[in-house]
Chain A
Amino acid sequence: MNLTRRHVVGSGIAAAALSTMPVRAQSGPVRIAFIDPLSGFMAPVGDGGLKQFQFEAERINAAGGVAGGRKLEIIGLDNKLNPQESIVQLEKAIDQGVRYIAQGNGSSVASALVDAIEKHNARNPRQTVMYLNYAAVDPIFTNDKCSFWHFRFDADADMKLSAMTDYIKGLTDIKKIYIIGQDYSFGKAVADSSVKMLKEKRPDIEIVGNELHPLARVRDFSPYITKMRASGAQAVITGNWGNDMQLLIKASSDAGFNVPYFTFYGGGLGAVGGMGRSAVGLVRQVTEWHSNIPDIGMDDTVRAFKAKHRDLDYYYYRVKVMFDMLAKTMNDTKSVDVREVAMALEGLEMKIETGMASMRKDNHQLIQPLYISTLAENVKFDVDNTGLGFKTDIKIEGAATAMPTTCRMRRPAS
């Protein structure tokens, strides 16, 4: 009897708890689940991203929060860089009532998340989820595989390569280019697009090598450098990141093979630390921002972040843009409802420190200025505490980076 009564009382409490949940969800913090690797080989990258997400959320909260004073809260969920694990974490987040999901590392993970969120939203039109992509740059997510619920705040691989090849177009001395990348979907996409774009823009350039090496397995790149030199290459294009980036440059400068490197992630976490002084003047990167763009009002932010995280640098400017845009739409609509926010976010134009940012309505790709910069000494802000940092070569205005899209977006009926 006792047992039954306790049971009844217990379920009553549970019911009461359940009935208060929606109330809490309407007035409590707006939660964003950050699903990225927080353990294992790529943990430093995921961890650095999470710290910056928290930094931006605190900034927005200190400025008064969103949609009438509500706070933003970041929940870090470890996906171990694994698509299946990411889906598990996504479901966990949705069960907890989280409606905003952020991810960036690995287009393989992004692909699984796009599918899962599309399916979830079709089945649960009253509990839709938004996907904030801050770094997965496979062009497919804003083309054939585009989704209304997915918004990408980083320039995709083709946009970055287009900027890079435009720059190479002007370097008439370069006649022979070597392409080297990691042996997986991203490395292959970079290689294919580089070949195509160079053929259009500089048909006189000969591609003297197109090499894929195993991902995160090569310790000594000297054999590759020997091969590159033998090919007569005058410049190298690479999408490498992490260890593969720094070891490549290190081997190159050790051998005295001093040619310009056009990279995506030459300034990524730990890369400059590993490459060291040898990379000065040679390593170029294409990014939406770097810390040595003078007089745009970012210096205090960079310093504040450094004061908080000694071993990290303020790297993801696009995450700041993402939070600013998100806060603006939530404040303008006075709502945190995913559908309303998504409707307001697409087509949104906003002034940012580097110029103008706009979220394309047709494929949900953010258009923002891009910079090509070179590693240099004597800079105001360094990277990885090395005393080295990046200096701008050229700035490409946002409009010039836009690419045609094959996206046919299916919008929810309004």
Chain B
Amino acid sequence: METIVFSTLNGLLYGLLLFMLASGLTLIFSMMGVLNFAHASFYMLGAYLAYTVGAVTGFWIAIVVAPLLVGLFGAAVERFGLRHVHRNGHVAELLFTFGLAYLIEEIVKLVWGKNPLPYTPPAVLQQPLFTLWNTHYPALRIFMMAVAVGMFVVLWLLLKRTRVGLIVQASLTHPHMVGHLGHNVPLVFMGVFAVGSAMAGLAGVVGGALLVTDPAMALTLGPIVFVVVVVGGMGSLGGAFVASLLIGLIQTFAVAVDASLSDFLARIGIAVSNRSDLGRITLAQIAPMLPFLILVLVLIFRPRGLMGAREG
């Protein structure tokens, strides 16, 4: 019981962190039709800027300022970089974001050094919020869930219930039509890119405090976020939400369950000695592989993803 409750909480938390990244990425994808390889780098920038800004102003101001700075940076990237590259087609855009990701990583190393930063949240968030079966649950974790859920709700309302959301949605699918109606479509694109980047930055502010702020943080989370976006369905916000939670929970429970591959194979009628190399592999060991397994299966059997609108 104890294990189930905490594994569910941990899974939800990881899933929500993934969602904070995936939501921005999936919006940007539906806009440009290109996966932004540098998206996880905005997440990293968010954490580093929050550390630097927070050292002067404190955490609560940094959590507002850092995502804004990342959003501004994102807007600049779109305005002065991507918009020019766009003329040369999708491959050029893809390569541009790919190069940008490496560029940001190297710049981060130059400015902040190669070692992890001692970036810690304020004491209020470090206290345990509640204690169940002697296990503390830190306030920071609940805070992060609240931020992620809040972000989802605001984004959802913004897109579905406001005029701005209407224009954005229309620009995503029919940019020319929206342009002819007198709206500034490039500005809408820049805005979406900036908001997407800022959301990744916000994820970084919280995620960096929760996990580790180091130059490898973009590289470790990046691939999983792509999996989420593809599994959820490219461009689908709801899909990204479901897929994030799904992958978060699957990975966490795979670690928590104490079973080996031989146990599993025995259940479906294949006997493998649990002394052999294959039989000794535990479910926990293959946990990091599972998202990619899901990715491959989804691409084979449902190429448009769980809730994607367009065909693969």
Residues of A within 8 A of B311 (CB): none
B118 and A230 contact, CB distance less than 8 A = no
Residues of A within 8 A of B118 (CB): 273-274, 276, 384, 386
Q: How far is the CB of A223 from chain B (nearest CB, A)?
A: 4
Which residues 110-142 of B sit at the A interface, judged by CB distance below 8 A?
113-118, 120, 126, 128, 131, 134-138, 140-141
- Bound together, the chains give a CA A273 to CA B51 distance in angstroms of 14
Chain B contact-residue range equals 35 or more
A219 and B256 contact, CB distance less than 8 A = no
Judged by a CB distance under 8 angstroms, whether B3 is at the interface is yes
B113 and A311 contact, CB distance less than 8 A = yes
Residues 177-194 of A, flagged 1 when their CB comes within 8 A of B and 0 if not, give 000000100000000000
Residue of B nearest to A212 (CB): B285
A214 and B288 contact, CB distance less than 8 A = yes
Residues of B within 8 A of A229 (CB): 2, 134-135
Given A217-B288, A223-B256, A227-B258, A47 and B114 touching (CB < 8 A)? yes
Q: How far is the CB of B270 from chain A (nearest CB, A)?
A: 23
- Bound together, the chains give a CA A246 to CA B213 distance in angstroms of 12
Given A223-B7, A269-B115, A386-B118, A256 and B212 touching (CB < 8 A)? no
Residue of A nearest to B137 (CB): A255
A230 and B2 contact, CB distance less than 8 A = yes
- Bound together, the chains give a CA A203 to CA B177 distance in angstroms of 78
Given A229-B135, A257-B135, A273 and B285 touching (CB < 8 A)? no
B212 and A274 contact, CB distance less than 8 A = yes
Which residues 129-181 of B sit at the A interface, judged by CB distance below 8 A?
131, 134-138, 140-141
- Bound together, the chains give a CA A334 to CA B216 distance in angstroms of 47
B115 and A270 contact, CB distance less than 8 A = yes
Residues of A within 8 A of B282 (CB): 211-212
Judged by a CB distance under 8 angstroms, whether A254 is at the interface is yes
B136 and A224 contact, CB distance less than 8 A = no
Residues of A within 8 A of B128 (CB): 256
- Bound together, the chains give a CA A218 to CA B14 distance in angstroms of 12
Judged by a CB distance under 8 angstroms, whether B88 is at the interface is no
Q: How far is the CB of B27 from chain A (nearest CB, A)?
A: 24
Chain A: interface residue total (CB-CB under 8 A): 37
Judged by a CB distance under 8 angstroms, whether B276 is at the interface is no
Judged by a CB distance under 8 angstroms, whether B211 is at the interface is yes
Residues of B within 8 A of A213 (CB): 284-285
Judged by a CB distance under 8 angstroms, whether A243 is at the interface is yes
- A-B pair number, CB within 8 angstroms: 98
Residues of A within 8 A of B211 (CB): 219-220, 247
Which residues 86-115 of B sit at the A interface, judged by CB distance below 8 A?
113-115
Judged by a CB distance under 8 angstroms, whether B10 is at the interface is yes
Residues of B within 8 A of A247 (CB): 211-212
Residues of B within 8 A of A216 (CB): 216
- Bound together, the chains give a CA A386 to CA B115 distance in angstroms of 14
A223 and B221 contact, CB distance less than 8 A = no
- Bound together, the chains give a CA A213 to CA B6 distance in angstroms of 19
Given A254-B138, A256-B128, A243 and B216 touching (CB < 8 A)? yes
Given A270-B115, A274-B118, A226 and B136 touching (CB < 8 A)? no
B212 and A243 contact, CB distance less than 8 A = yes
Residues of B within 8 A of A230 (CB): 2-3
B135 and A223 contact, CB distance less than 8 A = no
- Bound together, the chains give a CA A41 to CA B136 distance in angstroms of 32
- Bound together, the chains give a CA A43 to CA B256 distance in angstroms of 32
Residues 191-214 of A, flagged 1 when their CB comes within 8 A of B and 0 if not, give 000000000000000000001111
B134 and A256 contact, CB distance less than 8 A = yes
B135 and A219 contact, CB distance less than 8 A = no
A220 and B14 contact, CB distance less than 8 A = yes
Judged by a CB distance under 8 angstroms, whether A222 is at the interface is yes
- Bound together, the chains give a CA A256 to CA B251 distance in angstroms of 23
Choose from A43, A226, A255, A274 the contact partner of B114 (Cβ within 8 Å): A43
Judged by a CB distance under 8 angstroms, whether B296 is at the interface is no
- Bound together, the chains give a CA A9 to CA B43 distance in angstroms of 61
Given A183-B285, A227-B258, A274-B212, A219 and B220 touching (CB < 8 A)? yes
Judged by a CB distance under 8 angstroms, whether B41 is at the interface is no
Residues of B within 8 A of A250 (CB): 212
A sample of 17 more A-B contacts (CB under 8 A), given A44-B115, A223-B255, is A41-B216, A47-B114, A213-B285, A217-B220, A223-B256, A226-B256, A227-B258, A229-B134, A229-B135, A230-B3, A254-B141, A255-B135, A256-B136, A269-B115, A273-B115, A384-B115, A386-B118
Those 7 A-B pairs whose CB atoms lie nearest each other, nearest first: A256-B136, A223-B255, A44-B114, A226-B6, A270-B115, A222-B10, A223-B252
15 interchain pairs, CB-CB under 8 A: A211-B284, A212-B282, A213-B285, A214-B285, A216-B216, A218-B288, A219-B212, A220-B211, A223-B11, A223-B251, A229-B135, A247-B211, A254-B136, A254-B140, A269-B115
